[in-house]
Structure 1
Amino acid sequence: MYLTSPIVYGFFQWYPEWRTTVSLIGFAIMLLGMVGASFANSVAELLATQGILYGLGGSLLFFPVYSYLDDWFIKRRGLAFGVLIAGDGTGGVVIPLLSQWMLDKWGFRTAMRAWAIISFLFLSASLVCLKPRPKARNAVGPVSRGFDMRFLKSPAFWILQTGNICQGLGYFMPILYMPSFAAERGWPNITGTIAVSLCNVSLVVGATATGWIVDRYHVTTAIMISCIGTMVAVFIFWSFSVYQPMLFIFAITYGVFAGGFPATWSGCANPVRRSYPVENGMIVALFTAGKGIASVISGPVSGALVEADTWKGQLGFAYGSGYGKMIIFSGITASFASISWVGKRLGVV
């Protein structure tokens, strides 16, 4: 879903009139993926349905929203994008709890079919409201198609993208491993679920606030706030999570600062635009792909970090939990986002 975003957005730049149609096609593919997954009998079938089909359909359904956002918002585009990102956090609170309840009550196959029905009902209502901005009645001239790719020559773009990818390398690890970390500490199973839910709730606040900051200050200000806050969350609160309340504090602060980081993408076009014309949506699409690359890499890396952790039982605090090297890795990769601030100081960003 992440990796296809530039292709999907590029298609909409050439054929904007297809946005609604493609959204409906993506909607159908996504539902097909969920229903198909309920009949899967092997890992390969599950990967093809819930993995490939669902991801492709979600991409076709979701990314037209970026172009609609550009249509409707100008002055408060950062805040609007932050609210859009905050939707991930809202879903991340409700969906895991509801999914777990359905899995426990009905099993995997029935739960997937039930979730397909729920998705159909809610998304159908949303698609009715999803419309492009009406064109001015006195607008003349041909519709602009395509896009200018000269912005790829901009050092500002590559500095910001590098920081984005580096931040993404460690971003997913704490969220994915919070439940297993809690179990390793001997805490009840509900502890990890609560921690993830708190992280997602906090993401709503973080993304909205970050979008507000992007509208009012240079984008590197928002990036540095996210960067420093994430480092504090990882190196202080996660590192010393020897009691459940400290893990919850970590989840909240990580959700606010790390979870809010994608809301900075809407402001990353401004430094690039000083040298080359660029659509805000294309920058967001490319940064989304960058995060996708990071997520693909972070999967095997996180497993290797846990497998190779020799600090378990040897060091104090959370560093001896079996996740010590992951904690260090997550904090260091978060710090690399500060490269954008360095670029600004050098006058490049």
Structure 2
Amino acid sequence: MTQLDRSECPIELTSVILESGCGSEETASDRQHLRESSTCMGTITSHAEETANVQELPAIDGGWRAWRFVASAFMVEVMIWGYEFSYGIFQEFSTVSIAAVGTSAIAIQYGETLLLSLFFERYPDLLKRSVWVALGVATLCLLLASFVSQISHLIMLQGVIFGIAGGFLYYPILVLLPQWFHRRRGLATGIIFSGSGFGGFAFPFLFQALLERYGFRWTLRIWALVTLFGMQPRLPVPKFPRGQRPRFIPPQMHFLKSTLFWLLSICTIMHAMSFYSVSLYIATFTKVISTPLSASIVLAIFNSSGTVCQVVMGHLCDRFSYAWMMAGSTLVSGLAVFLLWGFARELTLIFLFVIIYGGFMGGYNALGPASASDCAGNKPEQSSIIWACIFFIRGIAVVAGPLVSGVLYGVGETTESAGSMYGGYGFKALEVFVGTCTVAASLGSVMMAITRRKVQE
């Protein structure tokens, strides 16, 4: 029997991985992990079978460990994204300044995901330690931000630095979700992503209750324990011999040649430019026709209306085509912009609009993992970097959309009359822009559905 030279292996083979749990099934990513771990064995497979340790994996698509991950990821959504929709609880600045803080944090978190994907593909053993460091940085930002009095300091702490740390805290969800869920991935995604809407609505109350009951120190400890307890990998972390780590930029990214990927990118841009424009300006519009209290209620409803829809749409995504669901949700949202927001002169139509638009456009995000997995095709190991690319593209659109909307609103304020039948108070051009982007996302989704059908045939 020829002795195995371990130095030739790109990954140390430390175990033979077997599925455990009743009803669990081997996924394509599991098979890829096994292939990577055993490529260096060549034809000496019998030697590995005699000497390797056998390690059983937790059950996929169920079991307390999988749902523990969902609960932990949900709390990350609440604490990171929900917090970023709740800046007003900490500082009292103008609406424009608050928007600058929130937009910069969200854009950075989306934009850095691609770099994090490339980095942790090469250094997966640093993932868990980076979460601890990021948690400390994010906590320090929260503490220091409560003492600042200048908007530039707030933007740096809660926008830039907290955004960077939030990306490190959030990234493990993108990596670990495909490990824990396959058949029920849509449902798990919907539950996790609903944390942002739930946090945007309830975070100020939850945070205040924890502060009053347990104090600042224990509030942060509870946050840390809940977040990190369930953020555990299902597959063993690969170990690389010195000097044999993967390249920083993967040599083969076949999805860049896929029409499906570029259509998904276009739909992502249109969705983000529309959604974040509404999130920034719907409260301003409500103040024009009603009171600041009504504006706060409308914004809370908008942030929370996607919570239920994300769970429902995520669950339906496990059974039906995600592309047609994307097309339907964006079409309904576009019609809501043109028919409800455009003619809104009273709170009733505004409430109806934010429920429909916030629900369907918020639920759209739950379809992301399914679309990324589909773009990966027979290369399931690339699904995480595809998702990271989509996040990077979304980060650009998060900045571009509100900038365009701000220009359109500024022009509309000086040229439009309040008594216009459609889109008055300076919001007409902005509403047309938002509605057009939403409908464009729907048309792009239809093209995705047609493309998928042709590929499958």
Give the TM-score taking structure 1 as reference length. Answer: 0.86
Report Cα offsets for 1:259-308 as digits up to 9, x if no partner: 11111211112442347555322222221222111111123212111111
Where do 1:313-324 residues align within 5 Å?
A: 313-317=418-422, 319-324=423-428
Unaligned runs of 5+ residues in structure 2 are 1-108
Partner of 2:222: 121
Alignment of 1:1-349 (within 5 A): 1-95=109-203, 118-133=219-234, 135=236, 147=250, 148-185=252-289, 187-274=290-377, 278-309=381-412, 310-317=415-422, 319-337=423-441, 338-346=443-451, 347=454
What SS class does the counterpart of residue 90 from structure 1 fall into?
helix
Deviation at 1:170, TM superposition (A): 1.4
Shift of 1:251: 1.0
Q: Any idea what the Cα deviations from partners look like across 1:305-337, whole Å, max 9, x if unmatched?
A: 1111122325215x1122121111111101111
**AA at the equivalent of 1:37:** A
Kindly state the Cα deviation for residue 98 of structure 1 after the two structures are TM-superposed: 6.8
Q: Is the 8 A contact 2:376 2:383 kept in 1?
A: no
Residues 60 and 83 from structure 1, CA distance in 2 versus in 1: closer, same or farther, beyond 3 angstroms? Answer: same
Task: Answer whether contact 2:148 2:154 (CA < 8 A) is retained.
Answer: yes
Unaligned regions of 5+ residues in structure 1, if any?
103-109
Q: Deviations over 1:14-70 (max 9, x none)?
A: 222222111111111111222222333433322221111100110011111221212
Q: What is the one-letter code of the residue matched to 2:428? A: G
Instruction: State the superposition RMSD in angstroms.
Output: 3.0
* Number of corresponding residues: 335
Distance 1:120 1:295, change over 3 A: farther
Residues 163-194 of structure 1 show CA distances to partners (whole Å, capped at 9, x for unaligned) of 11121111112221122111111x12221111
- Structure 2 Cα separation of the partners of residues 167 and 320 of structure 1: 24
* Aligned residue in 2 for 1:107: none
Which of the pair has more CA radius of gyration? 2
Shift of 1:85: 1.0
When residues 191 and 161 of structure 1 are mapped into structure 2, their CA distance, relative to the original with a 3 A threshold, is same
In the superposition, relative to structure 1, how do residues 196 and 183 fare at CA in structure 2: closer, same or farther (>3 Å)?
A: same
> 1: CA distance between counterparts of 2:233 and 2:455?
35
CA distance in structure 1 between the partners assigned to 2:386 and 2:315 by the alignment = 18
Fraction of identical pairs, as percent: 27
Look up the equivalent residue of 1:179 and give its one-letter code. A
Quick check: 1:227–1:334 contact (8 Å CA) kept in 2?
Answer: yes
Tell me which residue corresponds to 1:106. Answer: none
Helix, strand or coil for the counterpart of 1:132?
coil
**Per-residue Cα deviation, 1:86-108 (whole angstroms, up to 9, x for no partner):** 11011011135678x89xxxxxx
Distance in 2 between residues matched to 1:25 and 1:55, nearest whole Å? 14
If the length of structure 2 is used for normalisation, what is the TM-score? 0.67
Q: Which amino acid aligns with 1:259?
A: G
